[in-house]
Structure 1
């Protein structure tokens, strides 16, 4: 059979695929960048351009691309057993082993796992579990969920409604507005002028508590938050924020959901960030992405033993826990996750993130010398760079600038992610200092070139 040409693949993609976040104003003419190969820190497009992956695919390829040991582990599980019905009282070896491994690594008594196919479905599962938990407790009014502006929780309908990036909802019907509500983002860069970090934290916690009273404490079931807000701009909350928000939840008999789809599995140098970095143990912890380093889709919703003990009873005579996914605990995905974690442990990747991450953050501060860079922030291997028209007013630079910087970085062999008026960086956790320099230099040179042309 004749191998497809570059133009064949480009055309088939353009004519038949509906991509996430397609820009229809130019897609018909420009089509897609076709990535053909991937190895380590790099991907290669169909024109042979080798590109440093500064975004780990999409926050997820933590151990790097194209590992033979991962391929062998996946292949071995396929040959042993690629799938069997997970419903009712049927299990498989990798799902059971992974559940025990996650429980051992997670903070507190997050001892029970509900598997999904990714982060969006894991967040949907979290909300269903919250509602079911309070139903089983007889607190039938306790349904409302508080999320945050600029938070990102997924693309399925409930997860998209939890998401506080409101531009993602234009043209789409909205659901859940009767039970999903939002409070302010923990955005230190946008805090009122003259307000200290502690005062801003006070403001956010007070706003949260007032929103609970506005909605009625007997009606509010949970708060959901990313430890560091990812797609919303890599927003790092003021010190003590997460612990204080958790304490408010406990005062009003609410559950705290930590969306660690991005932050878990090494991006902040820890298996999970909630307790180790932010001093708070959530009631529900959601993870995906780095759990398999993107080799196979998998998500997980972890709940405490206290929640499990409440829901682990028939809801009626003959009743069963009727949340079912065909690919729950998929053996190949779970085998990939186990191998992924084995690799991370044996090669000391958490330590690398702790050592190289601060170097990336410090090195990137040099970008603040550029006239359109308003803020450089993040932690370890998560970074957001705000592009502004005026540093004093912090007015965003406007449409198209981040996309132009992205394209110029590609010309320099580096992939970054344009998100609105920001550039986002989230490299694999195997990155070294030289590769950090490559990313920062590519951004600096690209911005300088853009300004010269402008």
Structure 2
């Protein structure tokens, strides 16, 4: 028995070495630097179970980012794997151009039942980027059919992240995403980030909210509502550093959009399917009823690539009543409404509805409170979050809130220490983002926060020794 285990361990180790070498020779990683593109191997993950993953060395780690905001019901859910197998054996694929499948129709109905307002129809895509791209192309189609070909500009915000396809990436508001990349800049108007932590010194939250709303209103007046087709916004800006907007801000923006015929697209690729304790956060958490909602990630808990756009019944009625009944929305994807993805999403939604959503709402306040204790550390400028998503932002000093005086890889330093201690972190320059699987327990939250505290403490010691930071 022992010999068999040793042989299996050796075979696994050999396979891991092979994977690393193969990656260096042949695999182009996402978001690579020019100096290492096509030669890079990243941390190899071998297995996952529950809230944990195992790296190539056999170390068990808490999956702090839940993959990429998506492993909502946890790793190794046998019922999801079985659904994939059963659906593949029944129908592995059908062309969506002139056929359909039953799982997609049922899933569209189930999703519409959770959506706010009159959002009642779903177009399925392959992920978040294609979902946002679809929503924007639908806005363009809608305005063309309604005889408003000039109404195409898109309002987006600083710190936003909406995808990696050409049009969706053009909305991104993080400078590093665009330094070396082209975009449809002629179609996008950028607004300020709604980050209260970065508001002007001495400005109250209420005044900051008024500033954001006034800026939005003034931008519409300056450009002209007849030229603006949509506003796209995440309820909580995820990859921008878990930026939670000030109370009432989104509702006021929604009203301006409604008053000026600007479509409000709520990007719930991250916040949807349980991350904030509800299937969708727009209505339940922020009191808004968008014209469209985009989703992906948690819809299948990352077990199968799937995304989509939920569209308002009002918009579809306006198209059906138009003078151009033959106008074609010339947009679709090979894997639109994929039967396996939709079947997995149906089972995933069952799991969420049965227990996981309620559990998330129960443990989220504890998660936020425990993370908040990290503000005791002098390197930490702010801990913020909502639901089961949180961000620890490190700063050189709390008065200036300046992250630039720190080593720019401070987040990676913290992640490296945490990895050694048993936690995978999502490092974002001077920030550490946490969004664990929604099934996490209070005891596991304690473990996560304790490791993160030690990882930050060790990083502070490193920075002091190197003379980078005095603390």
Q: TM-score, normalised by structure 2?
A: 0.93
| 8 Å contact from structure 1 (residues 53, 414) kept in 2 | yes
> What is the CA distance between 1:314 and its match in structure 2?
8.5
> What is the CA distance between 1:320 and its match in structure 2?
3.4
| 8 Å contact from structure 1 (residues 314, 321) kept in 2 | no
Q: Distance in 2 between matches of 1:160 and 1:410?
A: 30
Q: Distance in 2 between matches of 1:368 and 1:262?
A: 25
Please give the secondary structure, in 2, of the residue aligned with 1:218. helix
Over the aligned positions, Cα root-mean-square deviation in angstroms equals: 1.8
Aligned twin of 1:36: 46
Q: Structure 1: 5+ residue runs without aligned partners?
A: none
Please give the secondary structure, in 1, of the residue aligned with 2:226. coil
Verify: 1:98 aligned to 2:107, yes or no: yes
> What is the CA distance between 1:108 and its match in structure 2?
1.1
Verify: 1:227 aligned to 2:246, yes or no: no
> What is the CA distance between 1:195 and its match in structure 2?
1.6
Which of 35, 45, 68 is the aligned partner of 2:78?
A: 68
Q: Taking structure 1 as reference, are residues 212 and 319 closer, same or farther at Cα in structure 2, changes over 3 Å only?
A: closer
Which of 167, 175, 194 is the aligned partner of 1:158?
A: 167
Q: Distance in 2 between matches of 1:117 and 1:55?
A: 21
Q: List per-residue Cα deviations over 1:11-54 (Å, max 9, x = no partner).
A: 11122111112356678887211111111111111211111101
Verify: 1:363 aligned to 2:373, yes or no: no
Q: Taking structure 1 as reference, are residues 388 and 96 closer, same or farther at Cα in structure 2, changes over 3 Å only?
A: same
Verify: 1:139 aligned to 2:148, yes or no: yes
Q: Distance in 1 between matches of 2:62 and 2:168?
A: 31
Verify: 1:438 aligned to 2:444, yes or no: no
Q: Structure 2: 5+ residue runs without aligned partners?
A: 1-10, 464-471
Q: Taking structure 1 as reference, are residues 315 and 402 closer, same or farther at Cα in structure 2, changes over 3 Å only?
A: farther
Aligned twin of 1:179: 187
Q: List per-residue Cα deviations over 1:252-297 (Å, max 9, x = no partner).
A: 1111000000001111011100010001110000000000000000
| 8 Å contact from structure 1 (residues 136, 310) kept in 2 | no
Q: List per-residue Cα deviations over 1:304-325 (Å, max 9, x = no partner).
A: 0011122347885755332121
| 8 Å contact from structure 2 (residues 29, 40) kept in 1 | no
Which of 19, 37, 40 is the aligned partner of 1:9?
A: 19
Which of 377, 380, 400 is the aligned partner of 1:393?
A: 400
| 8 Å contact from structure 1 (residues 381, 427) kept in 2 | yes
Please give the secondary structure, in 1, of the residue aligned with 2:170. helix
Q: Distance in 1 between matches of 2:39 and 2:340?
A: 38
Verify: 1:248 aligned to 2:256, yes or no: yes
Q: Distance in 1 between matches of 2:109 and 2:12?
A: 47
> What is the CA distance between 1:56 and its match in structure 2?
0.5
Q: Distance in 1 between matches of 2:267 and 2:94?
A: 29
> What is the CA distance between 1:148 and its match in structure 2?
0.4
Aligned twin of 1:190: 198
Q: Taking structure 1 as reference, are residues 372 and 30 closer, same or farther at Cα in structure 2, changes over 3 Å only?
A: farther
Q: Distance in 1 between matches of 2:339 and 2:40?
A: 39
Q: What does residue range 9-408 of structure 1 map to in structure 2 within 5 Å? A: 9-23=19-33, 31-88=41-98, 90-174=99-183, 176-312=184-320, 319-346=327-354, 348-396=355-403, 397-408=406-417
> What is the CA distance between 1:453 and its match in structure 2?
2.8
Q: Taking structure 1 as reference, are residues 329 and 390 closer, same or farther at Cα in structure 2, changes over 3 Å only?
A: same
Please give the secondary structure, in 2, of the residue aligned with 1:269. coil
Q: Taking structure 1 as reference, are residues 221 and 48 closer, same or farther at Cα in structure 2, changes over 3 Å only?
A: same
| 8 Å contact from structure 1 (residues 78, 332) kept in 2 | yes
| 8 Å contact from structure 2 (residues 26, 38) kept in 1 | no
| 8 Å contact from structure 2 (residues 51, 74) kept in 1 | yes
Q: Distance in 1 between matches of 2:73 and 2:361?
A: 15
Q: Taking structure 1 as reference, are residues 336 and 41 closer, same or farther at Cα in structure 2, changes over 3 Å only?
A: same
Q: Taking structure 1 as reference, are residues 28 and 126 closer, same or farther at Cα in structure 2, changes over 3 Å only?
A: closer
Please give the secondary structure, in 1, of the residue aligned with 2:395. strand
Q: List per-residue Cα deviations over 1:224-274 (Å, max 9, x = no partner).
A: 000000000100101000000000101111110000000011110111000
> What is the CA distance between 1:190 and its match in structure 2?
0.6
| 8 Å contact from structure 1 (residues 372, 390) kept in 2 | yes
Q: Distance in 2 between matches of 1:210 and 1:203?
A: 10
Please give the secondary structure, in 1, of the residue aligned with 2:392. strand
> What is the CA distance between 1:384 and its match in structure 2?
0.9
Aligned residues: 451
